[in-house]
Amino acid sequence: MRVSLGERDALIVVDVQRDFMPGGALEVPEGDKVVEPLNRYIEKFSSLGLPVFFTRDYHPKEHISFKGYGGVWPPHCVQNTEGAEFHPDLKIPQDNKFIISKGTSKDFDAYSGFQGTNLDQLLKERGIRRVFVGGVATDYCVKNTVLGALNLGYFAFLLLDAIKGVDVKEGDSQRAIEEMLCKGAVGITFEDLK
Ligand code: VGL
Ligand code: ZN
């Protein structure tokens, strides 16, 4: 497939944070493998003057998604801690980039970058119609961000070479990919861009 990028396109990089990397509090196996491919996408979008959105999980320290506070996850991506920082090798552009924090209030969780954020508004203000989504975790925040985009009427590309999942249950990531594709997302790899 050949996909030509244009002014209505944006890149969304989902949750490439230390706590989701190997050794982190909620590690995604091989989560760090998304950094290099994502840097290529970031460079491409940036060099074309297209906006790049970085979502981050950004929880208060007694968050509802944490074990002991009603949730299932170990504490992760706590505001103002190292674990919440982006991977140090992630190439965050100087210009035309946006950081979207989610899950920031104690009593709400958000797997989608659109939930409780101004992401939709920022995209609409810029006339964006197509989003290209990669990052972690395939079976949680990538999935819900892609489905959120589709529900809001965006065309969504799933960056198959720049996603990794948690797989709490074996096959979760594969099932998540199938669900995204069934619901209208189109899977591409970097070579498809021109
Ligand atoms: C995520 C589990 C809990 C994710 C966030 O970014 O996919 N997963 N919080
Ligand atoms: Zn979280």
pLDDT tens sequence across 76-122: 999 999 999 999 999 999 999 999 999 999 999 999 999 999 999 99
- Tokens 């460079």 belong to residue: 43
Q: 133 CA to middle of ligand 1, Å?
A: 15
Q: Which CATH architecture has domain 9-192?
A: 3-Layer(aba) Sandwich (3.40)
As a dihedral over the C-alpha atoms of residue 10, residue 161, residue 137, residue 146, rounded to 10 degrees, the angle is 40
pLDDT tens sequence across 16-31: 999 999 999 999 999 9
Q: Which residues pair with 54 in a beta bridge?
A: 13, 99
Q: 37 CA to middle of ligand 1, Å?
A: 20
Q: Are 146 and 18 in contact (CB under 8 A)?
A: no
Q: Which of 77, 102, 139, 164 does the annotation list as catalytic? A: 102
> pTM of the predicted model, to two decimals?
0.98
Q: Are 140 and 103 in contact (CB under 8 A)?
A: no
